[in-house]
């Protein structure tokens, strides 16, 4: 009876993954490509917020790219035929890249906070060139964080497996600990910036009835919700 229940539960999980991952992949890819087209083609000027949003879209696309391979690995109970290097690559896209999204949302919050709360200081701190440099440094740090996944010993010597027991990567090493610190720092930063931005915009909105101010309030609130949703799936716990 236990084996039957385990088999039934496993089949339910696999079916659930199809139901969730496939629509997420299709809709996510379409929405992100449309957003990328709007930002790159329709935008008349490349400003700081546009640069951060483009990088955020690419971060989402990287994650979406890994979903079909995760579905395949899960349906095969982790058995992998596409090579160990490619396995480590898509694992890194799926797990480590989540922190790229968290950092980008944090950068967007900081950029808006400086622009709205300290407009005079923003003239010295904000520029498209500086935004590109910041994003480049961030990507270097994110991809460097996946290096331990490439150099750690194979988790199974008899057959190649993928997306199985990946949480072993998080149980040792200074990189995972550093990423946890980054997450907590980002949580405090996004919360602080969002609260300060909302207070500032509400104060201005009370002084004048401006639809743009209310739109900005909605954007900041949505940004905070996106970060919270991303943080909810930050910690992998994959065991088959």
User: Residues 240, 78: contact at Cβ < 8 Å?
Assistant: yes
Please report whether residue 127 resides in a domain.
yes
pLDDT at 30: 92
How many angstroms separate the CA atoms of 70 and 19, rounded? Answer: 14
In whole angstroms, give the CA distance from residue 118 to residue 223: 20
- Cβ proximity of 162 and 73 under 8 Å: yes
pLDDT of residue 95: 73
Is the residue at 214 inside a domain?
A: yes
Would you say residue 194 lies in a domain? yes
pLDDT at 216: 55
Alpha helix ranges (H) inside the chain: 2-37, 48-75, 84-95, 97-117, 119-125, 128-145, 147-151, 174-207, 211-232
Per the domain annotation, does 215 fall within a domain? yes
Per-residue model confidence (pLDDT) at position 2: 44
State the pLDDT at residue 236: 44
Per-residue pLDDT of the chain (240 residues), as tens digits, is: 444 445 665 666 667 777 787 888 889 899 999 988 888 877 777 888 889 999 999 988 988 888 888 888 877 776 787 888 888 888 888 777 777 888 888 999 899 888 888 888 888 888 889 999 999 998 988 888 777 777 766 554 445 777 776 555 555 555 667 777 888 888 899 889 888 888 887 776 555 555 455 555 555 555 555 655 565 554 444 344
177, part of any domain: yes
Q: How high is the pLDDT of residue 237?
A: 43
* Predicted model pTM: 0.73
23-60 burial string, b = 16+ CB within 10 Å, else e? eebeebeeebeeebeebeeeeeeeebbebbbbbbbbbb
Structural domain contains residue 186 = yes
Signed CA dihedral, 31, 34, 39, 43: sign only: negative
For tokens 């964080």, the residue is: 145
The structural domain count of the chain equals 1
- Closest by CA position to 184, among listed 216, 231, 144: 231
Question: Closest by alpha carbon to 94, among 75, 67, 72?
Answer: 67
What pLDDT does 198 receive?
Answer: 84
Give the pLDDT confidence score for residue 73 in this predicted structure: 80
Quick one: CA dihedral 6, 12, 16, 18, positive or negative?
Answer: positive
Give the CATH number, domain containing residue 190. 1.20.1070.10
pLDDT for 173 equals: 56
Q: Which domain holds residue 209?
A: 2-232
């Amino acid at each position: 009876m236990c084996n039957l229940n385990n088999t039934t539960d496993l089949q339910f999980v696999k079916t659930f993954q199809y139901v969730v991952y496939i629509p997420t992949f299709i809709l996510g890819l379409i929405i992100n490509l449309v957003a990328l087209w709007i930002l790159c083609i329709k935008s008349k000027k490349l400003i700081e917020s546009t640069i951060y949003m483009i990088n955020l879209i690419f971060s989402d696309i990287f994650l979406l790219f890994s979903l079909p391979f995760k579905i395949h690995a899960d349906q095969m109970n982790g058995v992998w035929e596409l090579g160990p290097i490619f396995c480590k690559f898509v694992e890194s896209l799926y797990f480590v890249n989540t922190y790229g999204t968290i950092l980008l949302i944090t950068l967007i919050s900081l950029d808006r906070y400086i622009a709205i709360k300290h407009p005079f200081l923003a003239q010295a701190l904000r520029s498209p060139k500086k935004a590109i440099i910041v994003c480049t440094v961030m990507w270097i740090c994110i991809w460097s964080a996946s290096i331990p996944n490439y150099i750690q010993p194979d988790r199974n010597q008899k057959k190649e497996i993928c997306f199985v027991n990946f949480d072993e990567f998080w149980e040792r090493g200074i990189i995972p600990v550093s990423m946890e610190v980054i997450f907590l720092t980002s949580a405090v930063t996004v919360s602080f910036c969002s609260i300060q931005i909302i207070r500032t915009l509400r104060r201005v909105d009370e002084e004048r009835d401006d639809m743009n101010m209310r739109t900005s309030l909605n954007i900041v609130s949505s940004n905070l919700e996106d970060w919270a949703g991303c943080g909810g799936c930050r910690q992998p716990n994959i065991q088959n």
